[in-house]
């Protein structure tokens, strides 16, 4: 079975307009009864400084800048075996490989029409010895870690995101008028569809609809849906976490059309980005149109909430600082060097050393951190 995708670029603004999804059948009734619930408080924390929120083992990686490593836009960051794989789909060579200090080592993949070349690279993942690039509309291209082309195969799914579901199969985010979530077996021989298409606002492209935990579990998120799902070994979405916004939770109203919805969004709390590692969960959301940053310790359930614009980046002094990726249990923020202050006297020693030779025209600097909470 083949799924079509209407070619369109992701929209990464903080505010999206959509309708809540229709309920779908999950694996077992008890899944919804045992789901972890995360209650969002109404009062903000008093601590505002980033340095007091993250562990001292944070590190900064200035990505080396040269003619072959120049980054247009970072779409994905994967830290694997002390190597950084950066997906830059707008570049002629879309995967750039750096060591853990930021030295550029090589590029993987090249746009073109020849064998092993790429048409529209939109996602990637690393699986042991190989780098896989998802080439829209439906091709999965395999390279070794040195960038040598190995083979390619058709997935039968045309979409814009892919993750490997351990060794059980694959998970896709599609587009167009097809189901939003599609899972397959390991050989792309059978397909399961979830969350049928409703309209262009409900099924718009969102930030990080798929992510992967350290144990290989794939996490799936829908816009205007306060339930986060994990994908089972059988390729089905199972309730993973319920984000409880209380009275501010989005309420579906079938009588409201999509054109009226944007006016109503100011009444609700709307999730924008969700990230998770072994110990913490991070949420960016809008509450009555104000942006918030929220961290939760999964074990102690201690939480931290602040208006995102009040968060003080006292490490690199590039405000606001947003963690937009999670890889190998690290939360990752991308820092634009052009925003770095010229006078770096206030930087701590670690930041001074890492950023000493960084100039405004250089590639982004990546900050890797874990939270103290």
Domains: count for the chain? 1
Provide the pLDDT for residue 2: 40
Closest CA to 205 of 232, 190, 183, 223: 223
Q: Which 3 state secondary structure label does DSSP give 338?
A: helix
H or E element: which one contains 263? helix 258-264
Sheet holding 191-194, edge to edge: 159-165, 169-174, 181-185, 191-194
Rounded distance between C-alpha atoms, residue 366 and residue 250, angstroms: 34
Rounded distance between C-alpha atoms, residue 226 and residue 250, angstroms: 8
Does the pLDDT at position 23 exceed 50? no
Burial of 43 (0-12, 13-18, 19+ CB in 10 A): exposed
B/e letters for 246-271, b = 16+ CB within 10 Å, e = fewer, are eebbbeeeeeeeeeebeeebeebbbb
Whether 24 is in a domain gets the answer no
Does the pLDDT at position 42 exceed 50? yes
Are 220 and 187 in contact by the 8 Å Cβ rule? The answer is no
Whether 345 is in a domain gets the answer yes
Rounded distance between C-alpha atoms, residue 166 and residue 8, angstroms: 29
pLDDT tens profile 131-162: 999 998 899 999 999 999 999 999 999 999 99
Q: What are the residues whose beta carbons fall under 8 Å from the beta carbon of 319, sequence distance 6 or more?
A: 311, 312, 313
Contacts for 291-298: CB closer than 8 Å, 24+ residues apart = 291/14, 294/40, 295/53, 295/371, 295/373, 296/38, 296/373, 297/371, 297/373
Look-up of token digits 């020693």: 349
DSSP codes, 2-64: -B----------S-----PPPP---S-HHHHHS-EEEEPPSSPPS--BGGGTB-TT-EEEEPP
Provide the pLDDT for residue 201: 67
Provide the pLDDT for residue 27: 37
Provide the pLDDT for residue 35: 83
Q: What is the mean pLDDT of residues 4-20?
A: 34
Q: Is the dihedral of CA 21, 24, 29, 31 positive or negative?
A: negative
CATH number of the domain that residue 41 is part of:
2.120.10
pLDDT tens profile 178-221: 899 999 999 999 999 999 987 766 677 789 999 999 999 999 99
Least confident of 24-38, 148-162, 351-365: 24-38
Provide the pLDDT for residue 162: 97
Provide the pLDDT for residue 266: 84
Rounded distance between C-alpha atoms, residue 271 and residue 102, angstroms: 32
pLDDT tens profile 91-145: 999 999 999 999 999 999 999 988 899 999 999 999 999 999 999 889 999 999 9
Least confident of 9-23, 243-257, 267-281: 9-23
Provide the pLDDT for residue 264: 76
Provide the pLDDT for residue 260: 72
Provide the pLDDT for residue 202: 67
Are 232 and 181 in contact by the 8 Å Cβ rule? The answer is no
Whether 42 is in a domain gets the answer yes
Q: Distances in Å between the alpha carbon of 248 and those of 7, 225, 240, 296?
A: 34, 13, 21, 19
The pTM for the full model equals: 0.89
Whether 192 is in a domain gets the answer yes
Whether 123 is in a domain gets the answer yes
pLDDT tens profile 264-307: 778 899 999 999 999 999 999 999 899 999 999 999 999 999 99
Angle at the Cα of 195 from the Cα atoms of 140 and 134, rounded to 5 degrees: 10
Closest CA to 181 of 135, 228, 139: 228
pLDDT tier at 28, thresholds 50, 70, 90: very low
Q: What is the mean pLDDT of residues 20-32?
A: 35
Closest CA to 62 of 100, 88, 90: 100
Whether 217 is in a domain gets the answer yes
Does the pLDDT at position 16 exceed 50? no
Provide the pLDDT for residue 124: 98
Structural domain harbouring 328: 31-369
Rounded distance between C-alpha atoms, residue 337 and residue 371, angstroms: 24
Provide the pLDDT for residue 224: 85
Whether 248 is in a domain gets the answer yes
Whether 22 is in a domain gets the answer no
| Mean of all residue pLDDT scores within the chain | 89
Does the pLDDT at position 84 exceed 50? yes
């Amino acid at each position: 079975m083949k799924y079509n995708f209407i070619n369109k670029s992701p929209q990464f603004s903080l505010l999206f307009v959509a309708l809540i999804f229709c309920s779908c059948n999950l694996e077992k009734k008890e899944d919804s009864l045992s789901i972890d619930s995360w209650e969002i408080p109404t009062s903000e924390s008093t601590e505002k400084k980033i340095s007091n929120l993250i562990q001292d083992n944070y590190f900064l990686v200035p990505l080396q800048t040269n003619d072959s490593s120049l980054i247009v836009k970072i779409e994905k960051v994967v830290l694997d075996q002390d190597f950084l794989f950066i997906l830059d789909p707008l570049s002629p060579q879309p995967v750039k490989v750096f060591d853990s200090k930021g030295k550029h080592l090589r590029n993987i993949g090249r746009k073109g029409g020849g064998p092993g070349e790429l048409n529209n690279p939109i996602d990637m993942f690393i699986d042991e010895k190989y780098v896989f690039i998802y080439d829209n509309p439906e091709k999965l291209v395999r390279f070794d870690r040195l960038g040598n082309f190995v083979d390619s195969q058709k997935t039968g799914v045309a979409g814009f995101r892919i993750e490997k579901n351990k060794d059980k199969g694959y998970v896709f985010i599609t587009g167009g008028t097809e189901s939003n979530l599609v899972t397959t077996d390991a050989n792309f021989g059978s397909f399961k569809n979830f969350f049928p298409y409703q309209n262009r606002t409900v099924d718009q492209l969102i930030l990080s609809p798929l992510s992967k935990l350290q144990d290989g579990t794939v996490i799936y998120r829908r816009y205007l849906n306060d339930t986060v799902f994990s994908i089972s070994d059988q390729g089905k979405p199972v309730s993973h976490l319920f984000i409880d916004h209380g009275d501010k939770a989005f309420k579906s109203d079938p009588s409201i059309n999509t054109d009226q919805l944007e006016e109503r969004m100011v009444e609700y709390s709307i999730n924008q980005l969700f990230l998770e590692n072994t110990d913490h969960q991070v949420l960016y959301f809008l509450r009555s149109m104000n942006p918030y940053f929220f961290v939760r310790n999964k074990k102690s359930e201690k939480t931290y909430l602040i208006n995102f614009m009040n968060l003080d980046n006292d490490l690199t002094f590039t405000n606001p600082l947003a963690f937009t990726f999670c890889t190998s249990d690290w939360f990752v923020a991308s820092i634009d060097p052009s925003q770095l202050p010229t006078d770096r006297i206030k930087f701590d020693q670690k930041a001074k050393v890492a950023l000493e030779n960084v100039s405004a025209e250089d590639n982004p600097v990546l900050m890797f951190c874990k939270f103290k909470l």
